[in-house]
Structure 1
Amino acid sequence: MNIRKFTSVPIFLAIALLLTALSACNGKSNDAASSTAGSSEPGGAASSTPSEQPGGGDGPFAKYEPPIQLSSTLMTQGWASFPAGQTWDNDNLWHKLIKDTLGIDVKWAWQVDSSQYNNKMNVTIASGDLPDIMAVTKQQLNQLVDADLVQDMTPVFDRYAMPFLKEQVKSSLLPAQKMALYNGKLMAIPQYSGDPRDSALTLYVRTDWLANVGLSEPKTLDDLIKVAEAFAKNDPDGNKKNDTYGLGLLPTFAGGGSMTGFLNGYHAYPGIWVPDSSGRLVYGSTLPEMKSALSRLQTMYKDGLLDKEFGTKDFNRLKEDVVAEKVGMFYGTISESATILIDTMKKNPKAKWKALPLLSADAQPARPSVPITAGYFYVAKKGFAHPEAIMKIMNLFVGKVYGEDGAGKGAQNKIYAWVDNAKYAVFPQSPVQGYVKDFNYEAVRDALKNGDGSQLPEELKKTYDLVKSNDGTDLNNWQQWWIFQTEVSPFEVRANYQKDPNFTVVDSFYGGSTKTMDEKAATLATMESETFVKIIMNAASIDEFDKFVANRSKLGGEQIGNEVNDWYAQNK
């Protein structure tokens, strides 16, 4: 068990895209960051957009005439399903779109399930028989750059990135861009993963249970613990059985159910690097605030407020508990409104949920912490004649899924991402994908507030009309309706987090991986996981935390810190 382990990147991005659909209806340097983030293109090519110039010119969406063929790799997803007639091979919507719109005929060098993709790519890199373009991890990118096997993508991004994507990179996506810089050169196009702040946690609470136990919404962590005790011991569901517990919590640091929301209440920032008072980066899991938070969780466990099987819980089991009405409070991202809450409503339409901002243990506001992720990195084999094909396909993907600007112009998410009310997921068919900031919630919310959706793009106008015509009783559309109820919406909590760009604590290290991390990180993460779980479950004294900090330092943590700070001195 790895307490730091994230949900696999494709699943995480899939959930992020689902929410977009629903709300829409070694040396590294930053000296080239500004140019790779948005210099002007020769001849004004970047002004081309899908709607203005789908074929002509040498711009971001220009079609190859005659068409070109390229080889790529495909990460298939076991959870994805397609409408009848579409397959993972070339007989699908995205292959046709890319070929018809851009003149690019994609052929798969190989395809494999996501669980085996990284291993298969390692074998491919070792063989030296590389496809024209491919998605690789940061560690694999390091190998390819060191071996001089991939192309400098700086001129590709400068000339071919669509204006909207460049704007996004300048604002919320720059850390991901910097992860692909080597000696000032952009050696890959990051997959990006949207604004890191989009993954910030909120607290989901059943307000009907609060009423049943006679409590108000919690305002502090002390209040939260009082609520957890009442939910565990005062029969909040009124079934006359002792079958509930207080707070749904997982032994993870990211995603729905993770305990990071609670830890943040103690100003503890697990699994990320934060600057200390001297300006040096330190690993958040080793700081004194973490010990205080773990001690409080240990007490809660001893008092029966957490699931007795906390240490072995996973997301699916937490979801089962929430849907089965065994727990009425948990930390989650905005995604859980779609992945958990809608199922709870189908079981009990009278349930009432509200998202709250993180609660603090003292007078200082709780600031949510988030990691930096870039998903995969798209590289072009050294010598491939058309490396810009990566950028063109990503432009097409962003344009169809998110739109050509922050207002969602031209987006066709319900055709090219999630189809038939999210029954089918077709976006994984694309060999290149890019995930940017979702502006859709704010656009529809403001239109609803003003009572005028006439200026919204067609996709968002559909969402506006759906929300206007519903009252929350239609469970088929409940989630889309609920997230626009600003007094309860996790999207509104997220929007409030983002009003202050410095409020969310974002990982200050986005260098990917250091030499010692590659060698020691897995062992250190396992030690961290086991120690924290034992402490929380009262199988170890809280003083084991101090031993963990000391042992981590001896076993590679100190050297990793030195390497991280060497990087930070060059990139801050």
Structure 2
Amino acid sequence: MKNWKSTMVFGLLVFILIFVSACNSSDPTNSNSPSHSSKGVDGSASTSPADTNKKLVELTTVRGNPSDVKWDPGESMDKNAVYDAYEKDLGIRIKNLWVADSKQMEQKLNLMIASGDIPDFFQVNQMQLQQLIEADMIMDITSVFEQYASADTKEWYSKDGGNQIQSAKAEGKLMAIPLSDSPYNSSAYIWIRKDWLEKLNLSAPKTMQDVLNISEQFTKQDPGGTGKSYGITLQKDLFGAYGLTGFFNGYHAYPGSWKKDAEGKLVYGSIQPEMKTALQQLQIMYKTGQIDPEFGTKDHDKVNELVAGNKIGMAFGDFWLSAWPLESAAIKDGKMVQDWEVYPLASIDSMPAKTQVGLGVNGYVVISKDCKNPEAVFQLLNQWIKLQSSQEKEDKVYFFGKDLKDKGNLYFKINPIIMFPQDGNVQAGEILPKAIEANDPGLLNNNQDMLGRYDAIQKYKQGDMTGWVNWLIAKPGGSLAIMNQYLKEDRYQMNQYFGPPTVTMQEKKTILDTKEKEIFTKIIMNQVSIDEFDKFVADWKSLGGDKITKEVNDWYEKQK
């Protein structure tokens, strides 16, 4: 709903990198192969690599060019081993109408949509999806999904109760394919310098009062010996890596998220009384020197310089924080110079702290109304999901290119449809720690993602610091184990609104978001009284928030 988490996109890429590194096992399992013998919706036969008289299907699309893909000689986004594999295995030729620099992709997509000239299929965000629906430019794929999505694909989307699929519907019609990921991946944790706790004889935090004490002691006692320490990290965007989401959650405040109130209506988390309480505490911490006075001008990279410089030893962040940005601060020249530990969120009172999470969708794939072979798009989708369990040697081309070896070239990003399991990491949090503790990879049931993490940790135990990232994520008590603990203890606060931007959101959201960030920053920096929060709430309501709330609740009633 609210775009607080721009840096979370990077975190999702970190997760993808860890996943891909695990895809080079040679044990074959290929039970999920989709059928290619059915008829297309236009009456033409779908293709199969086994067909001697197969008809080649061409699908047009548009792509962003990932800056970090390392191309094999002679290859590009237009001609590469991954596209060749889809043509060979499925009989589908993918043709890019254009390829844009990743930084210009959204602008170019918007211009293309405005022109009305779109390819057969392409990826969009939720706002662009809504625009395409209103312009009647994309296909109702309800029956296509039912007919051509494989059984594994349908099961893939079922584990969240259907919310991700529901987010792609308009008036009951399925208008896009959600690019799924796990909502649990956006959960928050407390990351603390364990060596500093030990140096100051402080215990691991159990309550928010403990967290506040640790922040105060880190500031006063300067365990890094630099002459000036701060209690917690904070950067100018307030949320995302080195942000405050987990801190607010400890006060049962859920910024940017919609929750049910006592009457069962949806209310906006950023304007609730719990936010005022948490902001007041942050203002106190700022006034007592526990927060960098220049945080309002620093991004996460600049804040990480303070972390690397031993000036900050506590942060709120996602499960992957050890991979980015902590690793660059904690590991130097192959040696661990900072000993970090991860802990569950703590609560300010007797109620357990819940971590807020969103829908877990990274975008949508839409199909043009003029596409002659929409079933071919679903063949691409089915193939990607099949690849998650297949370990046939030749299938490695989709991840590593023609050499079938992981060279760190990130060829998986070339695939036109990429998505991840809704429950992958939270289930790994149950299994991986047990396997690591027992030194028994057999407990992992040949799951390649978990085996990749397991192997990295074995190397870490032997002194290879490249495994430190996965150690904090996958070990007993690591972030994945806490992720699973959150699930068992019912400690996820789901954003209850996952519909398209409402009419008033489209008109007013940017203004309201800007005002929200501005007043929160001013309150924290003690530039205005905490009572300005009440004025902000009144302004938010009058400037469009009340209309948005009504529209959100109208949508919510229709979901019941």
* TM-score w.r.t. length of structure 2: 0.88
1:551 corresponding residue in structure 2: 539
Query: Of residues 399, 419, 425 in structure 2, which corresponds to 1:434?
Result: 419
1:199 corresponding residue in structure 2: 186
Q: Shift of the alpha carbon at 1:339? A: 1.4
Q: Report how many aligned residue pairs link the two structures.
A: 538
2:17 is aligned with 1:18: yes
Q: 2: distance between equivalents of 1:409 and 1:154?
A: 32
1:483 corresponding residue in structure 2: 473
2:399 is aligned with 1:416: yes
Query: Of residues 382, 403, 421 in structure 1, which corresponds to 2:389?
Result: 403
Q: Shift of the alpha carbon at 1:267? A: 0.4
User: Quick one: structure 1 residues 450 and 558, their matched pair in 2 at CA, closer, same or farther if it must change by over 3 Å?
Assistant: same
1:31 corresponding residue in structure 2: none
Alignment of 1:287-302 (within 5 A): 287-302=272-287
User: Quick one: structure 1 residues 56 and 380, their matched pair in 2 at CA, closer, same or farther if it must change by over 3 Å?
Assistant: closer
Larger displacement relative to structure 2 (280-289 or 241-250): 241-250
Q: Shift of the alpha carbon at 1:324? A: 2.7
1:310 corresponding residue in structure 2: 295
Q: 2: distance between equivalents of 1:529 and 1:296?
A: 17
Q: Shift of the alpha carbon at 1:83? A: 4.5
Q: Shift of the alpha carbon at 1:181? A: 0.8
2:123 corresponding residue in structure 1: 135
1:226 corresponding residue in structure 2: 213
Q: 2: distance between equivalents of 1:338 and 1:285?
A: 29
User: Quick one: structure 1 residues 411 and 464, their matched pair in 2 at CA, closer, same or farther if it must change by over 3 Å?
Assistant: farther
Q: 1: distance between equivalents of 2:185 and 2:7?
A: 17
State the Cα deviation string for residues 281-312 of structure 1 (Å, max 9, x = none).
00000000000000000000000001111222
Query: Of residues 379, 390, 398 in structure 2, which corresponds to 1:392?
Result: 379
Query: Of residues 346, 355, 365 in structure 2, which corresponds to 1:378?
Result: 365
Q: 2: distance between equivalents of 1:258 and 1:304?
A: 17
Judge conservation of contact 1:273–1:509 (CA < 8 Å) in 2. yes
Q: Shift of the alpha carbon at 1:490? A: 1.1
Q: 1: distance between equivalents of 2:534 and 2:152?
A: 48
2:40 is aligned with 1:57: no
Q: 2: distance between equivalents of 1:519 and 1:425?
A: 38
1:5 corresponding residue in structure 2: 4
Judge conservation of contact 2:14–2:320 (CA < 8 Å) in 1. yes
Q: Shift of the alpha carbon at 1:214? A: 1.9
SS of alignment partner, residue 442 of structure 2: coil
Alignment of 1:35-114 (within 5 A): 50-51=30-31, 53=33, 56-58=36-38, 63=48, 65-78=54-67, 80-85=68-73, 87-114=75-102
Q: 1: distance between equivalents of 2:157 and 2:394?
A: 19
User: Quick one: structure 1 residues 242 and 115, their matched pair in 2 at CA, closer, same or farther if it must change by over 3 Å?
Assistant: same
Judge conservation of contact 1:323–1:340 (CA < 8 Å) in 2. no
2:165 corresponding residue in structure 1: 177
Q: 2: distance between equivalents of 1:451 and 1:247?
A: 36
Q: Shift of the alpha carbon at 1:270? A: 0.3
Structure 1 counterpart of 2:377, which letter? I
Q: Shift of the alpha carbon at 1:510? A: 0.5
Alignment of 1:550-569 (within 5 A): 550-569=538-557
User: Quick one: structure 1 residues 493 and 21, their matched pair in 2 at CA, closer, same or farther if it must change by over 3 Å?
Assistant: farther
State the Cα deviation string for residues 506-533 of structure 1 (Å, max 9, x = none).
1100112000000000000000000000
Q: 2: distance between equivalents of 1:503 and 1:320?
A: 32
Q: 2: distance between equivalents of 1:56 and 1:132?
A: 19
Q: 1: distance between equivalents of 2:385 and 2:302?
A: 34
Q: Shift of the alpha carbon at 1:377? A: 1.4
Judge conservation of contact 1:205–1:355 (CA < 8 Å) in 2. yes
Larger displacement relative to structure 2 (258-267 or 334-343): 334-343
Query: Of residues 233, 248, 258 in structure 1, which corresponds to 2:233?
Result: 248
SS of alignment partner, residue 513 of structure 1: coil
State the Cα deviation string for residues 410-453 of structure 1 (Å, max 9, x = none).
99789717998784322221222222232555443333344432
Q: 2: distance between equivalents of 1:53 and 1:23?
A: 21
1:286 corresponding residue in structure 2: 271
SS of alignment partner, residue 363 of structure 1: coil
Q: Identity across aligned pairs (percent)? A: 34
Q: Shift of the alpha carbon at 1:231? A: 1.4
Q: 2: distance between equivalents of 1:159 and 1:235?
A: 63
Alpha-carbon RMSD? 3.0
2:43 corresponding residue in structure 1: none
SS of alignment partner, residue 461 of structure 2: coil
Structure 2 counterpart of 1:171, which letter? K
Query: Of residues 260, 270, 273 in structure 1, which corresponds to 2:258?
Result: 273
Structure 1 counterpart of 2:326, which letter? L
2:153 corresponding residue in structure 1: 165
Q: Shift of the alpha carbon at 1:24? A: 7.0
2:103 is aligned with 1:115: yes
State the Cα deviation string for residues 236-286 of structure 1 (Å, max 9, x = none).
12x3x3132110123546532120100011100000110100111000000
Q: 1: distance between equivalents of 2:393 and 2:309?
A: 41
1:498 corresponding residue in structure 2: 487
Judge conservation of contact 1:189–1:377 (CA < 8 Å) in 2. yes
User: Quick one: structure 1 residues 461 and 288, their matched pair in 2 at CA, closer, same or farther if it must change by over 3 Å?
Assistant: closer
Q: 1: distance between equivalents of 2:523 and 2:365?
A: 41
SS of alignment partner, residue 259 of structure 2: strand
2:433 is aligned with 1:445: yes
SS of alignment partner, residue 538 of structure 1: coil
Q: 2: distance between equivalents of 1:337 and 1:571?
A: 38
User: Quick one: structure 1 residues 139 and 208, their matched pair in 2 at CA, closer, same or farther if it must change by over 3 Å?
Assistant: same
State the Cα deviation string for residues 12-48 of structure 1 (Å, max 9, x = none).
53223124346778xxxxxxxxxxxxxxxxxxxxxxx
Structure 2 counterpart of 1:403, which letter? S
Q: 2: distance between equivalents of 1:297 and 1:422?
A: 45
Q: 2: distance between equivalents of 1:365 and 1:179?
A: 29
Q: 2: distance between equivalents of 1:59 and 1:476?
A: 49
SS of alignment partner, residue 483 of structure 1: helix
Q: Shift of the alpha carbon at 1:390? A: 2.2
Q: 1: distance between equivalents of 2:203 and 2:395?
A: 42
SS of alignment partner, residue 14 of structure 1: helix
1:38 corresponding residue in structure 2: none
Q: 2: distance between equivalents of 1:327 and 1:411?
A: 47
SS of alignment partner, residue 378 of structure 1: strand
